[in-house]
Structure 1
Amino acid sequence: MLDILVYLFEHFEELGAGDQQSNFEESPLSETLIEAGFEREEIDQAFGWLAGLSGERHRAICAPSADSVRIFTDREYDHLGHDCLNYLFALEKQNAVPAGLRELIIDRAMAMEDLTLDHFKIIVLMVLWSRNQAVDSLLVETLLDDMSGPYN
């Protein structure tokens, strides 16, 4: 599934606009992905994951303040792991990820099976991309550093 997300990130920048995320299955994009060699089941999983980017459940009632502290549940800590959480914390401290998007990143990471730090980096990029956040080219290089081959 992550291969599809990377493919979409590389080939379809216009999909970052939030209003296009809800109709993936009905668009010619499915056929394009099949022609590119992806399986229908993986495509459906990727579209389900992407649909979570436009959901409202991750939105906070009020935006976290700059000095707020996020406490992770045991389930989150077990699934995300020390490396991913430290990486997210570092991105927040560098102001590369706003506190408000942190929750969406965590939500989308929790929806991914067999999460690794490399997968987590891609999730961060996908969340920033979906919210049309300016992503510094150095951040992209850092996020994709040492990543090669299939990501699933």
Structure 2
Amino acid sequence: MKENVIDVLLYLFETYIDTEERNKPDNEVLELELEQVGFQELEIHKALEWLDNMTVAADQPLKRHATMRVFSDNELERLDVECRGYLLFLEQVGVLDVETREIVLERVMALDTEEIDLDQLKWVVLMVLFYQPGREVAFAWMEDLVFEDMEAIVH
């Protein structure tokens, strides 16, 4: 099974999204569970580090007031036109603000993948919003978008 960091993150997010903070397992228990499910140790460590850095990013709000975002060459390589357009759309409808957009981009760049597709980007946005205090409405809106898209695929 060829799994990557985002697969581990999706598993954790889907498994523990509704779990109360005090009932969440510690990293050692998570590592054991993930290994039993079939994820590789290296991917597990990268995913847990990615999540640890997510909470650090959420605790450090950015001070950016740019009206236009210019993507770096690395970001252009990782995010295709569809993904970049989707980020712009999310900003325009108020799901993302400048700070959360930058956190999303930073977290995308921290993933161990050469390219990210739109569905993966949506999950990253959802995870970022989950960790942002005061962004509950945006999280709920994004959650509806992600799960509606999943239902459309199934039907």
What TM-score results when the alignment is normalised by the length of structure 2?
0.73
Partner of 2:9: 5
Partner of 2:101: 102
Q: Aligned pair 1:143/2:149, yes or no?
A: no
Q: Residue 64 of structure 1 contacts residue 100 of structure 1 at CA under 8 Å; is this kept in 2?
A: no
Identity among equivalent pairs (%): 28
Q: How many residue pairs end up in the alignment?
A: 139
Gaps of 5+ in 2: none
Q: What SS class does the counterpart of residue 28 from structure 1 fall into?
A: helix
Question: Which structure 1 segments of 5+ residues have no match?
Answer: 18-23
SS in 2 for 1:64: coil
Q: Helix, strand or coil: the match of 1:89?
A: helix
Alpha-carbon spacing, 1:14–1:130, altered in 2? closer, same or farther (3 Å): farther
TM-score, L = length of structure 1 = 0.75
The AA in structure 2 aligned to 1:142 is L
The 5 Å alignment of 1:79-90 reads 79-90=78-89
Q: Is the 8 A contact 2:126 2:142 kept in 1?
A: no
CA deviation after TM superposition for structure 1 residue 59, in Å: 4.3
The alpha-carbon deviation at position 10 of structure 1 amounts to: 1.5
Give the structure with the higher percent helix: 2
| Deviation at residue 14 of structure 1 after TM alignment | 6.8
In 1, the alpha carbon distance for the partners of 2:17 and 2:130 equals: 8
The one-character-per-residue Cα deviations of 1:96-151 (angstroms, maximum 9, x if unpaired) are 11221110100111122131111111111111112253122x53232241487xxx
